[in-house]
Structure 1
Amino acid sequence: MTAPVLAHPPTLADRVVGALRDEIRARRLVPGELYSVQQVAELLGVSRSPAREGLLKLAEAGLVRFTRNRGFRIVLPEPRDVAEIFAVRLALEPAAAARAASRGAVLTLEQLDDATHLGDEASFWEADRALHDAILRAGGNRRAAEIVAGLRATTALLTPPTSAGDRSLAAIRDEHAPVVAAVAAGDAAGAERAMREHLEHTGRLLVARVADRPVEDPAVERIWSEAVN
């Protein structure tokens, strides 16, 4: 089983989501204040329809809360939200990697390698998602793959990827290499361990980012441990 990259160009609503995240991070949209969909449409230079669609995606991730017939408010994500997402992923993905190894799954880093070489972040994250999905499905659990896909979509709305300042694409690619190698070798324990290490590293980085603290800060470790351990 390979991990194909399916390149999907971002929709206008996707671009609205990205722009809104930027506005929230820059505090041009202030948490707690009441805004209208029309204000967002005018701010971003789009019509009401994609503005509302983008806001609904952010609402699903918990970044926006609508008030009936009044508008919406920005709700900043909590570090605990990210830690809980990774707690679920840690319950599913290491075990799936072990099963994939036991079943002789065939995976590849080719798409990650190509995107890393080109410095193409969009293609890299498509390849990353496809590889994780392939591992979950090779482990024999389609529903787990669907759950993780939803969790990853939520994480992407809550915070930028760890390639945005925390790690290079090459470093992230290298964290996947031991997983793929262990699966290829039929080493179930090694695949499980490598996947766990990758997810724990990524999860802690994202918790630290949302908390706006260094990853080695004791507060980050406390949040992580309370959700995951």
Structure 2
Amino acid sequence: MPALRLPPEASSLADAVSQAVRDGVAAGELVPETTYSVYQLAELLGVSRSPVREGLLRLAQAGLVEIRRNRGFRVLPPRAHDIEEIIGIRLALEPPAARLAAEQATDDQHATIRTALGTMAAAAARGDDASFWPADRALHDLLLRASGRPRTAAIVEQLRSTTALLGPPTTASGRTLTEIHAEHEPVVTAVLARDGAAAESAMRAHLEATRGLLMAKLR
């Protein structure tokens, strides 16, 4: 059984199990198309089988694993329709939120958004993937929270976590960190200028470009 551990910050054992499995997939410890034992997972994590089953059920509902009766669970391989659904949901949520952020963000929020974009730019210039992707996620989160929609921010963060488990980032398709940063610049410029229509359009263009590259990898 792979080396997994429970994250200390989880709000429940089931959440901790779910995150431990997610982390295992992201790290390559849990491999798609391989069946793993619920009993071994419970023993490895030092918890009872009940929270393990609950955590796995949540992952099954998210389309990340398949529960096999009396056999355990199987990590599912990336599927094009999963990416299509996830980006489709983000397209429904993030462009309108960018418009709202442009219309109502405070000066303090402008400052943090500007700083986040600068962090992305610096990481892109260094070719620093490890710093770039957290900065990317932070920027999207700041824009969503500036829209006054914290629940939307939480939903999008969960969707992004799921996407990360379905395959490598779009840099694997030839898009550079600098190009990804450049897609965010017009979004931030529009938000800082309080131009709602431009912010919505720029966010939509960024997400559609992301969807195209992710889908191309799975065809």
Give TM-score, length-normalised by structure 2: 0.73
Counterpart in the other structure of 1:206: 214
Q: Distance in 1 between matches of 2:208 and 2:179?
A: 15
Counterpart in the other structure of 2:4: none
Cα distance, 1:104 vs structure 2? 4.3
**Which of 167, 179, 187 is the matching residue for 1:171?**
179
Q: Distance in 1 between matches of 2:30 and 2:178?
A: 25
Q: 1:169 to 1:22 in 2, by over 3 A?
A: farther
Alignment of structure 1 residues 1-229 onto 2, 5 Å? 16-20=24-28, 23-24=31-32, 31=33, 34-36=35-37, 48-49=44-45, 56=56, 59=60, 61-105=62-106, 106=110, 107-108=113-114, 109-211=117-219
- 1:74-112 superposed Cα distances (whole Å, 9 cap, x missing partner): 432321111111111111111111111112441211110
The one-letter code matched in structure 2 to 1:193 is S
Q: Distance in 1 between matches of 2:29 and 2:170?
A: 15
More helix by share: 2
**Aligned alpha-carbon RMSD (Å):** 2.9
Question: 2:119 touches 2:132 (CA, 8 Å); kept in 1?
Answer: yes
The one-letter code matched in structure 1 to 2:149 is N
Q: Distance in 2 between matches of 1:22 and 1:117?
A: 33
Cα distance, 1:58 vs structure 2? 6.1
Classify the secondary structure of the residue corresponding to 2:170: coil
- 1:10-31 superposed Cα distances (whole Å, 9 cap, x missing partner): x98665323437844xxxxxx3
Classify the secondary structure of the residue corresponding to 1:66: strand
- 1:28-72 superposed Cα distances (whole Å, 9 cap, x missing partner): xxx3x6444699x8xxxxx9339x98x948656423212243222
Instruction: Choose between structure 1 and 2 for higher RCO, CA contacts under 8 A separated by at least 6 residues.
Output: 1
Give the share of equivalent positions with the same residue, in percent: 50
Cα distance, 1:205 vs structure 2? 1.1
Question: 2:37 touches 2:72 (CA, 8 Å); kept in 1?
Answer: yes
Give TM-score, length-normalised by structure 1: 0.70
Unaligned runs of 5+ in 2: 1-18
Cα distance, 1:178 vs structure 2? 0.4
Q: Distance in 1 between matches of 2:72 and 2:22?
A: 20
Unaligned runs of 5+ in 1: 1-10, 25-30, 42-46, 212-229
Q: Distance in 1 between matches of 2:24 and 2:172?
A: 19
